[in-house]
Amino acid sequence: MKHYTWTLKVEFSVAPDWVADGVNPSTKAWQESMEGALESLVEYAYAGEVTAKVTVLKEPNMEQVAKEQGYPSAAKMKTENP
């Protein structure tokens, strides 16, 4: 099936309180959720008619994110919250 493709640039910013509460769009789960949200914008499409792929191009310092979320390091954050 032929598809038309748009490449979009989206900037997502949140306050430190949300980062402390666990918001981290760099995780696979977040990226999959964003893909699903974009795909759902075309309400009546059948499977495969609409696809979205989210790729993080730039992220904040993950050591700072880890500390904001109460982890001792980014490595520890990734093992406890993949």
Q: Where are the domains of the chain?
A: 16-80
Residue 81 predicted with pLDDT over 70: no
Residue 80 predicted with pLDDT over 70: no
Q: How confident is the model at residue 82 (pLDDT cuts 50, 70, 90)?
A: low
Half-sphere exposure (CA, 13 Å, Cβ side) for 32?
A: 3
17 burial (CB, 10 Å; 0-12 / 13-18 / 19+) is exposed
- Helix, strand, coil % (nearest 5) of the chain? 40, 0, 60
What are 53's two structure tokens? 């792929």
- Predicted local distance difference test score (pLDDT) of residue 15: 95
Residue 67 is which amino acid?
K
